[in-house]
């Protein structure tokens, strides 16, 4: 279902400026001169309260996109948190969102499965499409939409029930009753999350008895049990110790290919280790987006370089 780009969910949203979306491959200003490193343009945009045209690497052109974000803005009441973000998330790849605290990367992530709807004052404009279906459009059933998207939160949040029930939660609420199906999905998901060997003998114990890292992997198992079209990871390791973090990162590595993953992290090493693509955001604007290696080794913008080398943020 393709809808007009200007169509918004709520009529009261007034778009501040209607402008063509930046084409992938970078704008005319920065495409040819990666060595000049134009500086401070983002800071200018911030101080002038306007949008910023992101620096997009041409490598993205070759990818098939599972999720397309187009001119997406988000307001918390009067405050604008996202400024016309336009980007695509490649299918079967891991994409990391990095940026200093408050840059809107989690907000963007939560916009994908419309978790921001739960907040009263949020208004949005722009579009997002999941495999071509508009996410924000009148008549979209949010519940059905969320069934297509998996999400793992910052803090491990298993339900206070057994490991088995946790994993098959999405099937339960869909009314699946066949025990054979449930058991099969449970095992496959736990194996997928690398947790099967550890918990196969105590599937009916409370999930709360697992360690933090195990709980987070359980949450990943729960998310992939639903076979989502895109998997959202919201700083999945921030509440874990280094060893558990390492295991989660290995897991993300293994999931690559079978799942399209969009991951928020404030840990640049993690982004560089696990992701295929990295997007750098700053104060609600997408600054630069490209293959992880290019972004970390040869960033086109000086702000990006400053951030990835630890000079600010």
Q: Which residues pair with 44 in a beta bridge?
A: none
Burial class from Cβ neighbours inside 10 Å (0-12, 13-18, 19+) for residue 178 reads: exposed
Please tell me whether residue 144 binds other proteins under the rule CB under 8 A: yes
Please tell me whether residue 124 binds other proteins under the rule CB under 8 A: no
Please tell me whether residue 153 binds other proteins under the rule CB under 8 A: yes
Q: How far is the CB of 57 from other proteins (least distance, A)?
A: 30
Total binding residues for other proteins by CB under 8 A? 32
Please tell me whether residue 48 binds other proteins under the rule CB under 8 A: no
Q: Which stretch binds other proteins (CB under 8 A): 39-47, 90-98, 142-150, 283-291?
A: 142-150
Nearer to other proteins, 37 or 146 (CB): 146
Please tell me whether residue 208 binds other proteins under the rule CB under 8 A: yes
Phi-psi region of 250 (alpha: psi -120 to 50; beta: other; left: phi over 0): alpha
Please tell me whether residue 120 binds other proteins under the rule CB under 8 A: yes
Q: How far is the CB of 77 from other proteins (least distance, A)?
A: 13
Please tell me whether residue 146 binds other proteins under the rule CB under 8 A: yes
Please tell me whether residue 242 binds other proteins under the rule CB under 8 A: no
Please tell me whether residue 231 binds other proteins under the rule CB under 8 A: no
Please tell me whether residue 78 binds other proteins under the rule CB under 8 A: no
Please tell me whether residue 35 binds other proteins under the rule CB under 8 A: no
d(CA 187, CA 192): 8
Please tell me whether residue 175 binds other proteins under the rule CB under 8 A: yes
Q: Which stretch binds other proteins (CB under 8 A): 94-102, 151-159, 193-201, 295-303?
A: 151-159
- Of 160, 179, 180, 242, the one binding other proteins by CB under 8 A: 160
Please tell me whether residue 12 binds other proteins under the rule CB under 8 A: no
Residues that bind other proteins (CB under 8 A): 113, 115, 118, 120, 138-139, 143-144, 146-151, 153, 155, 157, 159-161, 169-170, 172-175, 177, 208, 219, 222-223, 226
């Amino acid at each position: 279902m393709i809808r007009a780009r200007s169509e918004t969910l709520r009529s009261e949203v007034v778009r501040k400026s209607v402008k063509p979306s930046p084409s992938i491959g970078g704008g005319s200003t920065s495409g040819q001169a990666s060595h000049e490193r134009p500086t401070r343009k983002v800071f200018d945009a911030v101080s002038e309260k306007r949008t910023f045209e992101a620096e997009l690497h041409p490598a993205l052109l070759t990818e098939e996109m599972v999720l397309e974000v187009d001119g997406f803005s988000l307001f918390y009441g009067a405050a604008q948190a996202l400024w016309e973000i336009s980007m695509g998330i490649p299918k079967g790849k891991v994409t990391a969102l990095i940026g200093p605290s408050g840059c809107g990367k989690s907000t963007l992530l939560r916009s994908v499965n419309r978790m921001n709807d739960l907040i009263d004052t949020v208004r949005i404009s722009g579009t997002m499409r999941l495999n071509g279906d508009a996410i924000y459009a009148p008549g979209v059933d949010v519940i059905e939409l969320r069934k297509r998207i998996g999400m793992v939160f910052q803090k491990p949040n298993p339900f206070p029930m057994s490991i088995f029930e946790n994993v098959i939660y999405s099937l339960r609420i869909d009314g699946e009753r066949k025990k054979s199906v449930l058991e099969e999905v449970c095992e496959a998901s736990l194996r997928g999350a690398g947790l099967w060997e550890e918990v196969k003998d105590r599937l009916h114990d409370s999930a709360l008895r697992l360690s933090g890292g195990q709980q987070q992997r359980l949450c990943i198992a729960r998310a992939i049990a639903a076979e989502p079209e895109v998997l959202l990871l919201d700083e999945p390791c921030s509440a874990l110790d280094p060893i558990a973090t390492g295991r989660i990162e290995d897991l993300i590595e293994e999931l690559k290919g079978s799942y399209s993953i969009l991951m928020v992290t404030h840990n640049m090493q993690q982004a560089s280790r696990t992701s295929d693509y990295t997007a750098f955001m700053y104060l609600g604007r997408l600054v630069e987006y490209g293959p992880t290696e290019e972004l970390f080794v040869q960033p086109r913008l000086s702000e990006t370089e400053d951030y990835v080398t630890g000079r600010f943020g």
